[in-house]
Amino acid sequence: MLSIGSVVVSKKGHDEGKVYIVVDICGEFALVADGKTRKLTNPKKKRLKHLKDTFVIYEGQKEKFKDFEIATFLKNTSICTKI
């Protein structure tokens, strides 16, 4: 089950295989950011079925997420992007 702070991998679309952090969930969609190309000010809207959960959680507080912290966390976390 995805929640805010979950690290996910995109399964479909032009960004297939890209790693993101879920910053919000709206019904059947998740807003995801990676801190570099998709910042918190402009998160990507993805259908939940197009995201694969990695079962890794970013422990930062949602209200205090920062782009550089997300980018650093994703860079330092080794996640297999095979789908």
Give the per-residue pLDDT at 80. Answer: 59
- Going by C-alpha positions, the residue among 54, 55, 5 that lies closest to residue 25 is 5
Average pLDDT of the segment spanning 58-82: 79
| Mean predicted lDDT score pLDDT of the chain | 89
Q: In angstroms, rounded to a whole number, what is the distance separating the alpha carbons of residues 75 and 83?
A: 19
Supply the pTM of this predicted model.
0.87
More confident residue, 60 or 14: 14
State the virtual CA torsion across 64, 66, 70, 71 in degrees, nearest 10. -170
* CATH number for the domain running over 6-76: 2.30.30
Say which DSSP state 24 is in: E
Token pair, residue 29, equals 């969609």
User: Does position 50 have pLDDT exceeding 90, yes or no?
Assistant: yes
